[in-house]
Structure 1
Amino acid sequence: MSTVRWGVLTTARIAQNRFLPAAGRARGAAVVAISSTSGRAEEVAGRFGIPAAYGSHEELLADPGVEAVYVPFPNSLHAEWALRAVETGKHVLCEKPLVASAGELAHLADAAARRGVKVMEAFMYRFHPQHAKVRELLDSGRIGDVVSIHARFHFAMDRQPGEPRLKPGFDGGALNDIGCYGVDALNHLMDAPPRSVYARGTSHSDPVETSMAAILDYGGVLATLDCGFEGPRTNTLQIIGTLGHITLDKAFDPDPTETANVTVASRSGEAETFAFTGDAFRSEIEQFSEWTRSDGPTMPFQELTQRSLAVRAALHASLASGQPQAVTPADAVVG
């Protein structure tokens, strides 16, 4: 496969700290351009050995040498810039959450199909090898029938001035920023959206929720989700079955240098731990680069993206009303 030439829109922290280092390690991918309206593109380009630096995102999108772009804008700008990139014929890997409404998702999918490009929501955790092991354990019946699932993701936010995840109108808050990982994982494991959800959140003095917890009813399987910007870092997933349980200690954001453990325990207390190391960002970049050269789906994981969008919409509605909320995929509007 020929090397896919990438561009990065903005010099956001996640681009500098996670995407660009991983892209430098990835096979079949090379970052050839970066853009920023803040004047930092040249400095970041020099640091990462990127050949082209642009002072506007439009210039990068007009560069015929760029085949795929990474979009790490604040959440409220994802749909707009993903669509603009698609309309210029670029493949798009866009940070989660991809869009805030079912209408935006449909519009983006139609544009991608028309332009013949790939678009994917960037949930890098999906590409870590521990999750393939979880699927293997479930499919083998190791823990019997699933009874409940519990997802947790917390970290203590560095509250810098102007932090978009804490500002109204930017589709921020704990649910959209980190709770979406749990939503995605739960829907992926269950291969269906829940029937209903019930969520409660706290915001302290912020205009968005900075922590939240929810119950999701999958009809015979109950799931819980909690997330927040207030406490020590934790990102765990536990699946409880009739014969045992599976626990992941670094489910959603394992560092490439860390070991992620998948522990399966039987009802009698016997346990076995499988240790994994993996570079999820690198694997995501490599896999998406391969997909840009294939005839596969225009939007990988589109059904899962649509499903999780509807669940987040219901969770936001429940947070606002304080009442349980049915999940209605056709009416998904988040934020």
Structure 2
Amino acid sequence: MSAVRWGVLTTARIAQDRFLPGMQKARNAVVSAISSPSGRAAGVAARFDIPTAYASHEELLADPNIEAVYLPFPNGLHAEWIIAAAEAGKDILCEKPLVGSLEDYTRVVEACDRNGVNLMEAFMYRFHPQHQKVREFIDAGRIGQVVSMHARFHFVMDRSPGEVRLQAGLEGGAVNDVGCYAIDIMNMVMGRSPVSVYAKGTSPTDPVETTVAAILDYDGVIGTFDCGFEGPMTHTFQVIGTKGHITLDQAFDPDPGAPARVTVSLRDGSTEGFDIAEDQFKVEIERFSVWARSSGHEVIHRELTEQNLAVRLAIHESLATGLPRTVEKVHAVKHHLLQEQ
């Protein structure tokens, strides 16, 4: 099978620092074009040996040579570019979080269905094998019955002028930027979304929340997370069971190829550690490239995407009201909206 030909829209930092280096390691994918209206595309293309640089995203989407595209736009621009890429017939890997509203979710799914293209929310961390190890331990009963989960993701943000993650109009804020990882990993472990959430946040000088803590009630299992833009880098996850617990020291963004440690600690005092190395961006690119060639068209990992959106919507309601909020099922609301159109 020949390599899937990719286009990258924008020269965003994540594209240059993580996605394109991961692409260079991928065995079934190649970047054929990159675009940016800022004029930076040519320089990035030269750095990564990309054959074509476009001065506009529309030109890249019109290129018949491109089969799949990577969209690392600010959150608030995802929907419009997903729809544009779908209408151009491209399979789409869009950075997380996919969208921020039910209306936008309905629009992008309908556009992808209508044009017969695949769509996936780019939670790259899911493709790191440390999470397969966690699943194996839980399924094998190593830590007994899961009773609680705890996730943490913080970093110190560079508050340069125009920082998109601090703009409410672009769906910035700590929940959408890093809290979404914590939500996703707990939903992935449980195989479902929580029934309710309760969140508190702070935003001393910004229009969006910059530090958040939340409780997620999985009807018998409690998940908690905290996240933000103010503290030193930490991204951990722990699953506690009746017989022991599993700890990930670098749950979401380990350095490519560097070992990430999975520690299993049991009630009898024994501890076992596993160091697992992989470039999760490379694996994500390879898996999506397989789907691009083998599947008809679908929202890949659709249930996780819908669960994540549902929880984020409830958390934002809780932040706004100061009250616990029920988590509604996104797919049911989505179908209702489609029927009204």
- The two structures have a TM-score, normalised by structure 1, of 0.97
CA RMSD, aligned part only? 1.4
Structure 2 residue aligned with 1:307: 307
Q: Map of 1:159-198 to 2, 5 A cutoff?
A: 159-198=159-198
Q: Is the 8 A contact 2:116 2:296 kept in 1?
A: no
| Equivalence for 1:14 | 14
Task: Return the alpha-carbon distance in structure 1 between the equivalents of residues 329 and 101 of structure 2.
Answer: 10
For the 8 Å contact 1:102–1:332, the answer to whether it is kept is no
2:207 aligned with 1:200:
no
Q: Verify the 8 A CA contact 2:151 2:182 in the aligned structure 1.
A: yes
Residues in 1 aligned to 2:88 and 2:18: alpha-carbon distance in whole angstroms: 26
Q: 2 CA distance for matches of 1:151 and 1:86?
A: 34
Q: Which moved more, 1:79-88 or 1:105-114?
A: 105-114
1:310-333 superposed Cα distances (whole Å, 9 cap, x missing partner): 000000000111111111124999
Per-residue deviation, residues 104-125 of structure 1 (Å, max 9, x unmatched): 2233223222322111000000
- 1:297 Cα deviation (Å)? 5.8
Equivalent position of 1:117 in the other structure: 117
Distance in 2 separating the partners of 1:259 and 1:330: 36
Task: Give the AA of the match of 1:17.
Answer: D
Moved more, 250-259 or 302-311: 250-259
Corresponding residue for 1:226?
Answer: 226
Q: Partner of 2:220: helix, strand, or coil? A: coil
CA distance in 1: counterparts of 2:90 and 2:186, whole angstroms: 31
AA matched with 1:183: I
Shift of 1:16: 0.8
Structure 2 counterparts to residues 1-335 of structure 1, below 5 A: 1-295=1-295, 298-330=298-330
Q: Structure 1 vs Structure 2: percent identity of aligned residues? A: 63
TM-superposition CA deviations, 1:172-194 (whole Å, max 9, x none): 01100010001111111111111
Deviations 1:141-165 (A, max 9, x none): 0000000000100111111111000
1:287–1:331 Cα change, 3 Å: closer
SS at match of 1:245: strand
Q: In structure 2, the residue corresponding to 1:214 is in which secondary structure?
A: strand
Q: Which amino acid aligns with 2:270?
A: E
Report if the CA contact (8 A) 1:309-1:332 is conserved: no
For structure 2, the residue ranges without an aligned partner over 5 or more in a row are: 334-341
Q: Secondary structure at the match of 1:232?
A: coil
Q: 1:26 to 1:33 in 2, by over 3 A?
A: same
The answer to whether the 8 A contact 1:86-1:117 is kept is: yes
Aligned length: 333
State whether residues 310 and 332 of structure 1, in contact with CA within 8 Å, keep that contact through their aligned partners in structure 2: no
Rounded Cα–Cα distance in structure 2 between residues aligned with 1:313 and 1:45: 38
Q: Deviations over 1:69-104 (max 9, x none)?
A: 000000000111011101110000000011112232
Please state whether the residue corresponding to 1:152 is helix, strand or coil.
strand
What does residue 339 of structure 2 align with? none
1:223-260 deviation per Cα after TM superposition (whole angstroms, max 9, x unaligned): 00110111111100000000000000000111113210
Deviation at 1:274, TM superposition (A): 1.0
1:150 and 1:237 in contact (8 A); partners too: yes
Q: When the two structures are superposed, what TM-score results if normalisation uses the length of structure 2?
A: 0.95
Decide whether the 8 Å contact of 1:5 with 1:67 is kept in 2. Answer: yes
- Offset from partner CA, 1:4-55 (integer Å, 9 cap, x none): 0000101111111111111111111110111101111111111111111111
* Structure 2: distance between partners of 1:254 and 1:153: 12
Q: Which amino acid aligns with 1:6?
A: W
Letter in 1 for 2:291: W
Structure 1 residues 255, 318: CA separation in 2 closer, same or farther (over 3 Å shift)?
Answer: same
CA distance in 1, matches of 2:231, 2:282: 28
